[in-house]
Chains A and B, each alone.
Chain A
Amino acid sequence: MTVVTRDAVTLAPFGVPEPELQYSAGTPAIAAVDLVREYPRKRKDPVRALQGLSLTVAQGEVHGLLGPNGAGKTTLVKILSTILLPTSGQATVCGHDVVRHGRDVRELIGVVMGGDRGLYTRLTGRQNLEFWGALQKVPRKVLRSRTEHLLERLGLAAKADARVETYSRGMKQRLHLARGLIGDARVLFLDEPTMGMDPVAAREFRKLIGELRDEQRTILLATHDMTEAESLCDRVSFVRDGTVVATRSPHAVAGLVSAVQGLELDSADAALAATLAEVPGVTSVTTDGATTRILVRSQDDFPRLLHLLADHGVTSLRTLRPSLEDVYVRLIGDRGLEV
């Protein structure tokens, strides 16, 4: 039996779907096992958006879904939020099956999507929240105070009575988040919530998500943004071709490709840089001001490189660990602009 805690790294080996997990520490907030979703097409083979995807998210965890467009992130969010039925497999939210007990699931979740849609733009922010709150069956008195609280908390109080069509993209996103929270959702699905936001607004938005994490809400965050995933998530899952290829905490992802990605040393002269670039296994040598970065293909290439550096009298160097983005590119593959 696998015991999962928030900090544990219990992940599927590279390329192998995560097996069904048993929990001793409470019901997982989200559990998906062998989820398959096919979209039928006329006179063509169906498109398989999910191909046996398995994933487990513990209560109170912020879990990132990373993957390119078409990887299946949104399809997974749709299934978990009961908007879409899986073709096969099973998914539960707080122990409720999304197919058989969809109504129970809908009582517990909030869905926040990126972009301009999903709001009544001719209504004010306050009216939107009151409407969605009523639909979430929030009692009237609670709804009034919660609406005020959320407007205040998300920095929308000053424009609460302005029509949403006059809001900036960042304000709309904050209103989306407020809408997702108006029912006091225990599990939040955020689908690219900072899409199209300027960096300052996105940073503020992330701060809000961080606060929600502190409140022990479970958050499933589908994103392309590595900084976002790195700063917010307890764990991230890399999704490719409708399946989870790996899950780790952002700090442990480096282990998925190699412990060390390269070396950094005080600026090498041009001759040494040229020599280093010729070493088998070295993929790039870049000099930026006072430092030179050498990236290698695998750890096996290090001994030869280290010998060469020692021969040239280099005694001070640092190891480079791969960033989340580096891991993403290695796991998902550099597809360029291909979709």
Chain B
Amino acid sequence: MNLLLIIRRAFWLGARDYTAIFTWKTWLTNWFVRVVAQVSFFALIGRMLGDPGQTQFLLVGNAVLLAAMVGMYAVNMVSWERNAGTLPLLAAGPTHPAVVLTARGSYLILDGTLSASGALLVTAHLFGMPLPWPRAAIVIALIAVVAASAYCFGILAGSLLLGFRSIQTIVTNVGLVTLMTLCGVNVPLDFYPEPMRWVASVLPLTNGLVAVRLAVTGQWQAALFPAAWEALVGIGWLTLCLLMVTALVRRGRRHGTLDYAS
């Protein structure tokens, strides 16, 4: 019960932190316009190729990528915790830092789901791709799974990068490009050799994107298996993340790296 309260409080605190950066007006006029433009750009490439199938592939891929992209921003959230000097205070508190770190950025799952779903619905309408409401609801649910899975991956990456602040931005971008390249966003998965496909299958986004593509075309039952796999991948990354933060805090206590001196 107490854990739920902590998670809920951490979620709201993170969300309030986010509202200090974006109001709903700036979110719509700055962020959302930007992501719709991004998805439209790739969809236009498909249209220029003259193939409606290509247009849909690129449109869906790049829209769902947004969920993963926002989830990856968790890297910055974890890093901010250290920059603000709050990490050692979390370690000195009775609640495990892993719980707090995982819960505090979970608003990004909501943000990722909203960004990706909104961009998908708007661009699908702009490019004449049918996405009737019941089907759209399933697609949104699947996108939420992708956002959650990518968020867990992002938290893990953020924890790993805690000690390497100088390369954090580079690694985040490399991570995003890797997801974009390997996970079937712009390039079909079967293009890659078997080992790379195996790597892609344990990354967030890959299986969720397969599920979304199936759901978009009305094959929602077929989407269940890849969706479950995506959820499993997310749980795997979450477990690794909790273990990693626990290990990092333990290591920090041993090596004195949980600094707070300004």
Instruction: Give A contacts to B, CB under 8 Å.
Output: 37, 39-40, 74-75, 78, 81-85, 103, 106-107, 109, 111, 113, 115-123, 127, 130-132, 134-137, 140, 163, 179, 183
CB-based nearest B residue for A80: B92
A119 touches B9 (CB 8 A): no
B89 contact from A103, A118, A122, A137, Cβ within 8 A: A118
A199 to B9, CA, bound (A): 36
Could you show 7 A-B contacts with beta carbons less than 8 Å apart? A75-B256, A83-B253, A84-B256, A107-B94, A116-B262, A134-B6, A137-B6
A84 touches B258 (CB 8 A): yes
Chain B hits for A85, CB < 8 A: 253-254
A163 touches B86 (CB 8 A): no
Query: For the complex, is B51 an interface residue (Cβ under 8 Å from A)?
Result: no
Query: For the complex, is B2 an interface residue (Cβ under 8 Å from A)?
Result: yes
Chain A hits for B94, CB < 8 A: 103, 106-107, 135-137, 183
B20 contact from A75, A81, A122, Cβ within 8 A: A122
A119 contact from B5, B86, B88, B261, Cβ within 8 A: B86
CB-based nearest B residue for A114: B262
A131 touches B9 (CB 8 A): yes
Chain A hits for B258, CB < 8 A: 78, 83-84
CB-based nearest B residue for A115: B262
Chain A hits for B86, CB < 8 A: 117-120
Chain B hits for A123, CB < 8 A: 13, 16-17, 20
Chain B hits for A107, CB < 8 A: 94
B interface residue count range (under 10 / 10 to 19 / 20 to 34 / 35 or more) = 20 to 34
B13, B85, B92 — most chain A CB neighbours (10 Å): B92
Query: For the complex, is B214 an interface residue (Cβ under 8 Å from A)?
Result: no
Chain A hits for B95, CB < 8 A: 134-137
B262 touches A140 (CB 8 A): no
Query: For the complex, is B84 an interface residue (Cβ under 8 Å from A)?
Result: yes
A136 touches B5 (CB 8 A): no
Task: Please judge, given known A-B contacts A81-B92, A106-B93, A106-B94, whether A122 and B17 are in contact too, CB under 8 Å.
Answer: yes
Task: Please judge, given known A-B contacts A74-B261, A119-B86, A122-B20, whether A83 and B92 are in contact too, CB under 8 Å.
Answer: yes
Query: For the complex, is B90 an interface residue (Cβ under 8 Å from A)?
Result: yes
A109 touches B2 (CB 8 A): no
A83 contact from B5, B17, B21, B91, Cβ within 8 A: B91
CB-based nearest B residue for A135: B95
A84 touches B253 (CB 8 A): yes
A40 to B256, CA, bound (A): 10
Within the complex, what minimum Cβ distance (angstroms) separates B208 from chain A?
31
Residues from 174 to 220 in B contacting A, C-beta threshold 8 Å = none
A117 touches B91 (CB 8 A): no
Within the complex, what minimum Cβ distance (angstroms) separates A16 from chain B?
27
CB-based nearest B residue for A109: B92
B260 touches A113 (CB 8 A): yes
- A115-B85, A117-B260 are known; give 6 further A-B pairs, CB within 8 A: A81-B92, A117-B85, A117-B86, A127-B16, A134-B9, A179-B89
A118 contact from B20, B85, B255, Cβ within 8 A: B85
Within the complex, what minimum Cβ distance (angstroms) separates A110 from chain B?
9
CB-based nearest A residue for B13: A131
CB-based nearest A residue for B90: A135
A82 contact from B5, B17, B91, B262, Cβ within 8 A: B91
CB-based nearest A residue for B104: A131
A140 touches B13 (CB 8 A): no
